[in-house]
Amino acid sequence: MEKQNSRYRWVVFAAVLLSYLLIVSQRTAPGLISDQLMKEFNVTASTIGLLTSIQFLAYAGLQIPIGILSDRFGPNFFLIVGTLLNGLGTLLYSLASNEWFLLFARLLVGIGDAAIWINLVLILSQWFKVNEFVKLLGMAGMIGSLGFLFATVPFSTWISLTGWRTPFFTVGILLCLCGILLYFVLVKNPKKMLINQTSSSSSSVKIENKREKTLVTLRRIFTSRQAWATFLCHFGAVGTYVGFIGSWAVPYGMHVYGMTRSGASQLIMIGLIGAIIGAPLTTWISSRLGTIKRPYMLVHLMIFLCWTAFLLFGGKPPFYILVVLFFIIGYGNGGSALTFAVVRKSFAIKEVGVVSGFANTGGFLSAVLLPSIFGRVLDHFHTASSTVGYHYSFIVPVIFSLLGLIGGILITEQRQEVSQSKELTA
C-alpha cells in the first residue's frame, strides 16, 4: 500500500484530528472552573496558577525529547500514548479529592499533550504529499482553534448544567476511546494492508539512517538558520497570542474599557474566530502562490503592527480598532501553521519531529514568559492608572512579535518535494 495515494489516508486524517480537537479543548477548559476549585478545595490563586503552569511547562520542556524519540521510533506509538495520557489525566482530574490529585492529573495531561502536535505533523507527513500537507496543516490548525472554542461557551454551559466533574469525566472517557481508535487506525489496520508487502531492504535503510547519534542531530539543528527561523516565527506568532489571551486579555478589557467579565471574554472569542479563519486561509494562499515565506512574512508584519498599535494608542485604542486588532492577532496565530510547512519542506523526514519540537518550544516558551513579564511591568506601574500600566506592558508583545518578524525574514525558501517524496516512499 502506497500511503500517499491510498484513500485510507483520509481515515487517518479524521481519526487524528478528532483526537486533536478534544485534546486542545482540555488545554484551557480548567480555566473555566478556577473559582469553583478555589472554593471546593480551599486553595489559593497561586495554587490554581501552578496547575496551569505545570501543564504548559511539561508541554514545553518535552517538545525536543519527544521530537527525537518520535523521529527514531515512529510517531504512531507516541500519538496513541499521548492521547491515552490525556484521557487518563482528564479522568483523574474529574475524580480529584485534593489539590495534589489535581496537580498530578494536570501533569499527566501536559505530558500527554506534549506528544500530540509533533506526531500529528509527522503522521500527516507520512500519509500525505507535500502539496496536500501544507493545506491540511491549515485544517489541523482550524480544528485546534475549534477545540479552544469548544472550551468556552459550550463547555461552560455544560458545566453550569451538570457541575464540573461530569464534563471532564466524559471528555476523559472519550479521549481514552480515541487512543484505542488510533491504535486500530494507525497500527492494526495498516499492518493488515501491508501484510503482503516485502520491504526488508528499505527498512534496513531507514534503521541505518535513524542510528545517527542524537547529539550530532541536535548540533546540526541548533546551528541551522532555518531551524532558528521557525523557532522565532512560532515565538512571535503563537506566544504573544496564547500568552496574552490566556492571562491578561480579560483583565485588560475590564480595567481599561470597564467591560464586564463576560463582555471582556468576547474579545477572546473574536481572536478565536480570527484563528479559525487564519489557519486554512493562510495555508491555502501559500499553496496557491507556491511560496511559504512571502505570506508568512506578511502574517508576522501584521502581528507586529497590531501590537505596535496598542503601544501607539497609549494602551487604549478606540473600541472598533480593538476588535480588529484582536481579530488580526488571532488570524496570525492561525497562520502560524506555516511554521511546520517550512519544517516539512526544509528538513529530511527523519528530522521533522525534532525540528517541529524545537519550533513548538519557541511558541510555548513565549507563552510562558509573556504573562510573567507583562505582569511585572503592570506591577511596576501599579500606583498609576491602569491605562498607563498596560501602555508600557504592551512593549513586551511588540518585542516578541518583532522577533517573530525577524524569524520570517530569516526563512530560506527551499523546495525538496522530489527528494522528500522519494524518502517517504523508500
Q: pLDDT, tens digit, for every residue of 41-91?
A: 887 766 776 777 788 788 888 988 998 888 888 899 999 999 999 999 999
pLDDT bin (cut points 50, 70, 90) of residue 131 is confident
Q: Pick from 138, 132, 150: which is nearest to 333 by CA?
A: 138
Cα 188 to Cα 73: distance, rounded to the nearest angstrom: 17
pLDDT bin (cut points 50, 70, 90) of residue 208 is very low
pLDDT at 375: 82
117, 63 Cβ separation under 8 angstroms: no
Q: Is the pLDDT of residue 31 over 80?
A: no
Q: Pick from 140, 116, 88, 107: which is nearest to 360 by CA?
A: 116
CATH number of 1-191: 1.20.1250.20
pLDDT at 52: 72
Cell (9 digits) for 97: 479529592
Q: Pick from 319, 329, 333: which is nearest to 364 by CA?
A: 333
Q: Is the pLDDT of residue 184 over 90?
A: yes
Q: Pick from 292, 311, 273: which is nearest to 400 by CA?
A: 311
pLDDT at 207: 41
Q: Taking the CA atoms of the chain, what radius of gyration do you get in angstroms?
A: 21
86, 112 Cβ separation under 8 angstroms: yes
Residues counted in the chain: 426
The stretch 394-422 carries a mean pLDDT of 79
For the chain, what is the mean pLDDT? 85
pLDDT bin (cut points 50, 70, 90) of residue 211 is low
Cell (9 digits) for 115: 506528544
Q: pLDDT, tens digit, for every residue of 143-162?
A: 988 888 888 778 888 988 99
Cell (9 digits) for 14: 479524521
Q: Is the pLDDT of residue 189 over 60?
A: yes
* Sequence ranges of the domains in the chain: 1-191, 210-426
Q: Which range is least confidently modeled, 69-73, 351-355, 380-384?
A: 380-384
pLDDT at 46: 66
pLDDT at 205: 41
Q: Quick one: 210-426 is in which CATH superfamily?
A: MFS general substrate transporter like domains (1.20.1250.20)
Q: Is the pLDDT of residue 326 over 60?
A: yes
Residues 6+ positions from 337 with CB-CB distance below 8 Å? 137, 138, 140, 141, 279, 282, 283
Cα 161 to Cα 141: distance, rounded to the nearest angstrom: 30
pLDDT at 426: 38
Q: Which of left, alpha, beta for 315 (phi over 0: left; psi -120 to 50: alpha)?
A: left
Alpha carbon of 404 to those of 162, 238, 268, 299, 339: distances in Å?
42, 9, 22, 10, 11
DSSP structural state of residue 411: P
Cα 255 to Cα 378: distance, rounded to the nearest angstrom: 12
pTM of the model: 0.77
In the numeric block, the cell 484530528 is attached to 17
pLDDT at 423: 44
pLDDT at 194: 66
Amino acid sitting at position 265: S
Q: Is the pLDDT of residue 317 over 70?
A: yes
The stretch 171-175 carries a mean pLDDT of 96
pLDDT at 408: 94
Q: Pick from 346, 361, 352: which is nearest to 414 by CA?
A: 346
Tell me, yes or no, if the two domains 1-191 and 210-426 fold the same way: yes
Cα 28 to Cα 147: distance, rounded to the nearest angstrom: 9
Q: Pick from 226, 224, 180, 211: which is nearest to 80 by CA?
A: 180
pLDDT bin (cut points 50, 70, 90) of residue 231 is very high
Cell (9 digits) for 99: 489539590
Better pLDDT: 404 or 189: 404
Q: pLDDT, tens digit, for every residue of 285-313?
A: 998 898 999 999 999 999 999 999 999 99
pLDDT at 162: 92
82, 116 Cβ separation under 8 angstroms: yes
Cα 285 to Cα 331: distance, rounded to the nearest angstrom: 13
Better pLDDT: 422 or 313: 313
224 three-state secondary structure? coil
Cα 66 to Cα 121: distance, rounded to the nearest angstrom: 13
Cell (9 digits) for 121: 505533523
The stretch 337-366 carries a mean pLDDT of 88
The stretch 30-48 carries a mean pLDDT of 79
